[in-house]
């Protein structure tokens, strides 16, 4: 059940469900009636969101773990809750500073002009979340939207129903619908949601659905932020400590069972060191994941569709001649359809006709490619859709700068998984196929803000029109 929301299609046109329309109208009316909220009101909304999450942390973690089937409670707490609250705390601490008008032309020649840029809320923001971090990826943008003075409606993923239903119920109990509302449901609800005349749409999900969101928003001229995915490359530089790099890449691939938008997808290793690298990766996996089936913390694929998609990618690669190395030391029978578990898997000898070479893997599978010269790496990355992040492992600064200076990716992380997300002040977002716009820290505040120029004068002559209307030729002397 999707919070009583049903949509219907007539001649291919989505007829909005009354619930969605009603919530949007309610929020917009309240937004316009109340005026732009003070810093105190904004912080209070963020505080209530944080309190809601903290007071119900155990239940939320239980819901997320149950949606996945098998997943670590500790890792869920760390990524979904602790990992969200740090960023939210930074945003909360800066609300007053970021919302201050910025004075322009201070001490300029036109002393009779007062000019400022006033950060202005947009109004009602719609947020659409994916299933892989169902809580983190909606509360972080919601807090940024609150900081910027907006009202928020969230549409959560149907793939994690326990989490979505629990969060929707918690929000309904603690927030007035005019401030924050959560709706749940699948593709139909998503389609109806994204065609509403919001003041901004913030979407996290796949590039394919991102295109639909952009198209649905276009008739209403709704500005859109897209946080998408893609195939993230990892480059192991020519003179790199292979064991150290292999360990970090192997473990980065396994976070959340490989179901992270910033997971390494394929790794490019100097040809002469590929075997050494492959051995180190599989040794790390065998050591850290001695059992898979019997381990209740080893992440499952979230549902049958994703399990079948990832196993089909492996099967297709194997059938077309790739070398598939499965790291399951105790002879467990894997993959296992019942638990949806796939052992850590390294695939090498990949050619472009294999699906795994084209599609974002989003599972516990790493592709190994080789190169002879760094120019091949740059060309390979640049010939493909721009990824969300590129990883670089190696100490050589010149090689690293050359790579960064000649490729286009959402972010770059060097020598560690996900480290580009660590500074609370670093903008996070994709470019090209991996998305448009950014958030985290000030970037999040700016995404949900209109920078409005407000300029006035008490000069005795018309500054802008006097030279453009009769009598022509009268150019005011400004000094
Ligand atoms: P998805 O695109 O399938 O779904 C995302 C959301 O869109 C869900 O709530 C879904 O119900 C909704 N939706 C589906 N079809 C829709 C439609 N036609 N119209 C409107 N809404 C629709 O993505 P997913 O499978 O939930 O998540 C995995 C993808 O998300 C991966 O590609 C991953 O890389 C990406 N991702 C990106 C980030 C990031 O921050 N850039 C973070 C997490 C995941």
Model confidence over 31-87: pLDDT tens digits?
A: 999 999 999 999 999 999 999 999 999 999 999 999 999 999 999 999 999 999 999
DSSP 29-86: HHHHHH-SPPHHHHHHHHHHHHHHHHHTHHHHHHHHHHHHSS--HHHHIIIIIIHHHH
**Confidence class for position 461, pLDDT limits 50, 70, 90:** confident
Kindly report the backbone phi and psi dihedral angles of residue 392, in degrees, each rounded to the nearest multiple of 5, phi listed first: -130, 130
- Exactly one of 227, 271, 275, 376 is catalytic; which is it? 227
Is residue 277 within 8 Å of residue 242, measured between CB atoms? yes
Residue 9, pLDDT score: 46
**Cα of 228 from ligand 1 centre, angstroms:** 8
What is the per-residue pLDDT for 8? Answer: 46
The predicted pLDDT at position 10 comes to: 44
**What CA–CA distances, in Å, run from 108 to 104, 105, 453?**
9, 5, 17
- What pLDDT band is residue 3 in, cutting at 50, 70 and 90? very low
Share of the chain above pLDDT 90, in %: 87
Using only C-alpha atoms, what is the Rg of the chain?
25
Task: Give the residue whose CA is nearest to atom 40 of ligand 1.
Answer: 227
Three-class secondary structure of residue 415 per DSSP: coil
* DSSP H helices in 195-271: 207-217, 242-254
Per-residue pLDDT averaged across 296-311, rounded? 98
Pocket probe mutation, ligand 1, options 209, 432, 443, max atoms within 8 Å of Cβ = 209
Which has the minimum average pLDDT: 141-150, 210-219, 323-332? 323-332
Question: Does 331 score more than 90 pLDDT?
Answer: no
- Is 149 touching ligand 1 by the criterion CB < 6 Å? no
Q: pLDDT for 146-181, tens place per residue?
A: 999 999 999 999 999 999 999 999 999 999 999 999
Distance between Cα 312 and ligand 1 center (Å): 20
Would you say the CB of residue 246 lies under 6 angstroms from ligand 1? no
For residue 211, the CA-to-ligand 1 centroid distance in Å is 11
Q: Where are the alpha helices (DSSP H) in 366-412?
A: 374-382, 397-405
Tell me, yes or no, if 177 is annotated catalytic: no
Residue 108: predicted pLDDT: 56
- Find out whether the beta carbon of 388 lies less than 6 Å from any atom of ligand 1: yes
pTM of the model: 0.95
Q: Whose CA is nearest to atom 28 of ligand 1?
A: 205
If you take atom 1 of ligand 1, which residue's CA is the nearest one? 205
Distance in Å, CA 204 to ligand 1 centroid = 5
Q: 184's torsion region: left (phi>0), alpha (psi -120 to 50) or beta?
A: beta
What pLDDT score does 16 carry? 53
Phi, psi at 361, each rounded to 5°: -75, -50
Residue nearest to atom 10 of ligand 1 (CA): 157
pLDDT number for residue 2:
40
**Pocket mutation for ligand 1, best pick of 205, 227, 306 (most atoms within 8 Å of C-beta):** 205
H-run or E-run covering 389 = strand 389-393
Distance from Cα 102 to the centre of ligand 1, integer Å: 36
- Complex ipTM: 0.97
Residue 352 has pLDDT above 50, yes or no: yes
Task: State which ligand 1 atom lies nearest to the alpha carbon of 434.
Answer: 41
What is the atom index within ligand 1 of the atom nearest the CA of 128? 9
What pLDDT is stored for residue 130 in this prediction? 98
For 442, the token pair is 């000030």
**Model confidence band, residue 330 (pLDDT cutoffs 50, 70, 90):** confident
């Amino acid at each position: 059940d999707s919070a009583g929301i049903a949509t219907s299609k007539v001649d291919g046109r989505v007829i909005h469900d009354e619930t969605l329309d009603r919530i949007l109208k309610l929020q917009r009316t309240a937004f316009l009636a109340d005026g732009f909220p003070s810093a105190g009101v904004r912080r209070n909304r963020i505080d209530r969101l944080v309190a809601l999450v903290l007071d119900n942390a155990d239940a939320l973690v239980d819901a997320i773990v149950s949606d996945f089937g098998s997943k670590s409670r500790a890792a869920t707490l760390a990524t979904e809750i602790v990992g969200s609250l740090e960023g939210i705390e930074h945003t909360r601490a800066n609300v007053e500073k970021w919302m201050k008008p910025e004075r322009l032309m201070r001490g300029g020649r036109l002393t009779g002009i007062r000019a400022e840029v006033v950060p202005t809320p947009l109004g009602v923001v719609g947020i659409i979340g994916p299933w892989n971090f169902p809580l983190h990826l909606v509360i972080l943008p919601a807090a940024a939207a609150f900081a910027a003075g907006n009202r928020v409606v969230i549409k959560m993923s149907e793939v994690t129903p326990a989490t979505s239903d629990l969060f929707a119920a918690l929000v309904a109990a603690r927030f007035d619908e005019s401030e924050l509302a959560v709706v749940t449901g699948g593709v139909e609800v998503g389609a109806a949601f994204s065609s509403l005349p919001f003041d901004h749409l913030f979407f996290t999900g796949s590039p394919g659905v991102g295109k639909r969101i952009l198209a649905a928003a276009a008739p209403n001229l709704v500005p859109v932020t897209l946080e998408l995915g893609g195939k993230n490359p990892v480059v192991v530089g020519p003179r790199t400590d292979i064991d150290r790099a292999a360990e970090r890449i192997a473990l980065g691939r396994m976070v959340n069972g490989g179901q992270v938008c910033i997971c390494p997808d394929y790794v490019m290793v100097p040809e002469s060191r590929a075997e050494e690298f492959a051995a180190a990766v599989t040794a790390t996996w065998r050591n850290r994941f001695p059992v898979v089936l019997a381990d209740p913390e080893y992440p499952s694929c979230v549902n049958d569709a994703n399990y079948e998609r990832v196993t089909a990618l492996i099967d297709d690669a194997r059938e077309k001649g790739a070398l598939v190395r499965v790291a399951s030391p105790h002879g467990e029978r894997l993959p296992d359809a019942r638990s949806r578990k796939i052992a850590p898997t390294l695939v090498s000898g990949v050619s472009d006709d294999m699906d795994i070479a084209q599609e974002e893997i989003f599972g516990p599978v790493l592709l190994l490619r080789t190169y002879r010269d760094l120019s091949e790496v740059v060309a390979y990355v640049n010939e493909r859709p721009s990824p969300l992040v590129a990883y670089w492992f190696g100490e050589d600064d010149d090689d690293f700068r050359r790579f960064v200076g000649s490729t286009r990716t959402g972010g770059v992380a060097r020598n560690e998984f996900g480290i580009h997300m660590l500074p609370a002040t670093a903008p996070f977002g994709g470019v090209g196929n991996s998305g448009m716009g950014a958030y985290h820290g000030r970037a999040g505040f700016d995404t949900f803000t209109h920078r409005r120029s407000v300029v006035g004068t008490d000069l005795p002559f018309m500054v802008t029109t006097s030279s453009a209307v009769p009598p022509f030729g009268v150019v005011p002397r400004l000094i």
